[in-house]
Every structure is written in structure tokens, then in C-alpha cells.
Structure 1
Amino acid sequence: MKKVYKSEVTEGLKCTNGIKPEIIAENDLAHLPSVVKKCLKLAGVVGKEKIVNVRFNCKGRIRSKPGDSWMNFKSEQYDFFDPPRRVFYIKAHKMGIPATGIHLYKNVEASMVVKIAGLFKVVDAKGPEMNQGETVTVFNDMCLIAPATLIDKRIEWETIDPLSVRANYKNGDIQISATLQFNESGELINFISNDRFETADGKTYMNYPWSTPFAEYKDFNGNRVGTKASTIYHKPDSDFCYGEFELTEVEYNCKEL
């Protein structure tokens, strides 16, 4: 799976290496709701290059279902934004047994494969639910890791109140929506969507509200982004937090693997 990861990233880099990004100007933010505009200014995007791709690494812990013990993990990921492509590789351990996984999103299609001990495939997910759900994840990445991409005029915005907005994001024939919540300073503190599906095996999919509260903003290469996030499904009986992520490294507009 690491070979697949490297191959997909290399292909994505070939598509962006010929792009010379323009500089983001104040006017590029003019169409945004006031709280989103405030967020992007706080993130320091004005005067910097428009983002064509981003590489970032995380560490944290994950679990498959409520009551399961947590597995520590490290992940590495590349996102490309025009057209959207997401390549995510993760390594985790549980009771000394390694697990590896790869999420791939390109050409408006998504897949997820997880193997135990490098041999036994325990998850092989794809199909319309994955395609829609990973479109939500791509937009979530844009909001948290690459807020400069939110100037894209293909995103439709609706102001809910002074500290929250609704965004409609479309890729191909898939359109998803999310509610973004901010604090008084302009930091994005939560992302909520009803368009993502939960699956533990790639066969059964359940639709619950999904949120990713953010915290602890820091500066990475001149861009201020949240460094900690939880991934939560809000089920009828209780909330299920299945992941805790900490951002450790970020690089924008990469040229090489």
C-alpha cells in the first residue's frame, strides 16, 4: 500500500508542478461571509501563494467502534485541489500487531483499504457512499489545513449567524454541505456535516451527523491552522469519537515526494 501511496502522490505532483500559483489579494476574499473572511485573514493567507497542494503528517489514536481499545497511529497525506485528489496513508498498532490503511480520492471516486499485518484485508470500501463521504473529508481538509482554498468561488456560502455559516461544496456530480462554526477571534472551532457515512467493513454504511471540533492553532510555514481535531459521529444513543488527530508537519505547494 505504501507503493500505491507513492505512485498516486507522484501522479498528483506531475499535475501541479507546472502551475505557478498566483498571490492571494484582499479582493480574493471580497465574496466571502464576514466571519470566513476574518478567519482567512487570521490564518495569514493574504499576500501568500494560492494553494495547489498540501502535504501534512499527523499522529494520534483511532478505534473502530465504541468500547474498542484505542490504536496509536501515524499518518501522512497529500491533498491536491484542482481537480481534488486526496491520498492518505496510515500505520497503526494494536496489541503489537500492525495495521496499515490507504484512502484514495480522485476523479470523484473514493476507496479505502485496511490490512492487518500487511496480509489480511479487513476493510475494502468503495461505492457511492464512500464517494460522497470522502468529498466531505476533502472539504474538511480544505477548511482546517488549507483555508486559503476557501476563496474558491465554486463554494456557495450562506450566513447562519455572526459566528456560523453553511457551505455547499461541489465536485463533479457530488454536492455536500457543512456548517462551520467560529469563535470570536475568527478561529474555526467546528465542522459539522450530515453527508458522511460510517463504515467499519466497507459493506455496511450508516449516515449520522459528523463533526470535527478543532483546537490549538499554531503557525506552519506562515499559515496559522488548527493542530488538534477529533472525529465524531453523533449517533441517536450517544456520540462516538473514533479518532483524535494532532498535526505535526505541514508543507504547501510541494514539488517533490
Structure 2
Amino acid sequence: MKRMFLSEVQTEIDKSIVSQEVFSEKDIINLPEPVQRYFRYCGFIGKEKINHVKFVWDNVSFKMSPDKPWFKIKYEQYNFVYKPARLAYIYSTMFGIVPFEGRDKYLDGQGNMLGKLLKKVTLFNVKGAEINVSAAVTYLSESLIVPNCALQQYIKWKAIDNNHAKASIEYKGVKAEGIFTFNDHGEFMKFETDERYMDSGNGKSEKQKWTAELSNYIEKNDIKIPSKAKAIWNLPNGDYEYFKGTLTDIVYIPKK
């Protein structure tokens, strides 16, 4: 699983475009006002338009269901811009001894969630239209953290008010949308969508409201990034927070 993941990452790196362009005021002039404020607050203007990055996570916890305990995972993630792609690798041990590996992929407009025990036993291998939408909306939720995504043709923005903006993604026939919330400083604080599918058991899934929350902005290489992240299902009977972690850095991946 790890070798497969790293091979997929390297393939995307090899295909990526290395740009020497930098963000300018002209790039953001047609974006909704709170999105423009975010670009300025984070310090992107005048910085390189990075096209493929590694998210550096620390202290990540995951919960399998609302009534299950939290457990620690190792989480590696890479995002790519010009042809939108997101690859994440998860490693943990169940019961403290049984190795579990997962791979979350969004590539060529298609999503796939693959999980294995003991490197061989497949627990799940989710494909199809529903995971395609869910993977696209997850990518959309992170588009401002890799801000060159926000300027691509496959993402469209619509103004709402001084602290909210709607964005939609359309790629390879898959569409999804959500709402971004910003504070008055310009920090992107929350993304909400009704278009992500949650596993409801017995091989079925259904749309539920989903929220990603970000906080505690820190400065890295003259750029401000959120260092705390949570993912939450907003279910009719109450919120189910299932992912929380510390984002310590976003690193440019050299092509060679």
C-alpha cells in the first residue's frame, strides 16, 4: 500500500507543471471580497503559485464511528493543482498490534477509498459516483490552503457577503459545491457542504451535511496557514467529529 501510494504521488509529480509565476492583485480582483482578504492576510501576493504540495501533519486522531474511541494515525497527504488530484495515506494499528493501511485518492475526477489489514486483507475498496462527488468536495474544501487551486477554471466563486463565499468545482463531469466562512481578519475558518456522502452501512451511503473547521493560524516561510483542522459530520442527532490534527507545514515538492 505504501509503495503504491508513493508511486502514484511520484507519477503526479512527474506530470506537474513547475511554474515561476507569482500571485498578483490582478489574479484575485474578480474573487469575492472575503476571498481577496484571505489572499492578502495570508501573504500570498507576490509569492510563487505552487502547483503541487505535501501537507505535513502531526498528532492526527481519527474516530471510526460516533460511539468508537479516538485512535492515533499517521497521515501523509499530497495535493496537485493543474489537473486536480489529492492523495492521502493512512497508517495505524488496530488493537495496538494489527497494522491498518488506508489510501484516499482523488484522481482524474474519480475517488477511491481503499483500506487493508495486515497489508493483504481488503476491508473496503469504495468506488463509484458517490465517492467521486465526496472526493471532489474534499478537494474543494482544501482549495484555499493550496491557493493556486482557487484560481483554476474548474473552480467557480460566487459572492455571498463580507464573511462568506460559495465555491463550486466541476471536473471530468463531476460537480460539487460548498460555502467558505472567513473572519474579519481574513482567516478561512470553515467549509460547509451538503454534498458529501457518508457510509450508512450495508454498502450504502447517503448525503449528510459535512464541515471542515480550521483555526490557530501560524506563519511558515512568510505565509500564514491554519495549524488546527477538524472534520465533522453534522448529523440530525448531533455532530460527529471524526478527524482532528495539527498541520505543521505545507511543503513544495520539487519535480526532480
Tell me the TM-score normalised to structure 1 length: 0.93
Matches of 2:246 and 2:252 in 1, distance apart? 18
Partner of 2:18: 19
* Cα distance change, pair 200–77 in 1 and its aligned pair in 2 (3 A): farther
The aligned counterpart of 2:114 is 113
SS of match in other structure, 1:194 = strand
Inter-partner Cα distance in structure 1 for 2:125 and 2:182: 36
After TM superposition, the runs of 4+ consecutive aligned structure 1 residues lying more than 3 A away are none
Q: Distance in 2 between matches of 1:133 and 1:202?
A: 18
Deviation sequence 1:145-177 (CA, Å, 0-9, x none): 312432334422222221111111211211111
Backbone CA RMSD of aligned residues: 1.7
C-alpha distance in structure 2 between counterparts of 1:2 and 1:226, whole Å? 27
Give 5+ residue unaligned stretches, structure 1. none
Residue by residue, what CA displacement relative to the aligned partner does 1:173-223 show, whole Å, maximum 9, x if unpaired?
111111000111110110001111112779221210100111111123332
Q: State the one-letter code of the partner of 2:22.
A: I
Q: Which residue does the alignment assign to 2:234? A: 234
Offset of 1:255 from its aligned partner?
A: 2.2
TM-score, L = length of structure 2:
0.93
Aligned length: 254
Residue type of the partner of 1:29?
I
Asked if 1:129 corresponds to 2:130, the answer is yes
Q: Which residue of 2 aligns with 1:9?
A: 9
Check 1:223–1:181 CA distance in 2 against 1; reply closer, same or farther (3 A cut).
Answer: same
| Cα distance in 1 between the residues matched to 2:66 and 2:220 | 34
With over 3 angstroms needed to count, the CA separation of the structure-2 counterparts of 1:203 and 1:117, relative to structure 1, is: same
1:69-88 superposed matches below 5 A: 69-88=69-88
* Aligned partner letter, 1:198: M
Aligned to 1:92: 92
Following superposition, the deviation at residue 35 of structure 1 comes to 0.8
Any idea what SS the aligned residue of 1:213 has? strand
Q: Which structure has more strand as a fraction of its residues?
A: 2
Of stretches 176-185 and 163-172 in structure 1, the one that deviates more from structure 2 is 163-172
On the 8 A contact 1:196/1:209 being kept in 2, the answer is: yes
Q: Is the 8 A contact 1:40 1:148 kept in 2?
A: no
- Partner residue, 2:198: 198
- What is the percentage of aligned positions where both structures have the same residue? 27
Q: Determine if contact 2:154/2:171 at 8 Å carries over to the other structure.
A: no
| 1:155 and 2:149 correspond | no
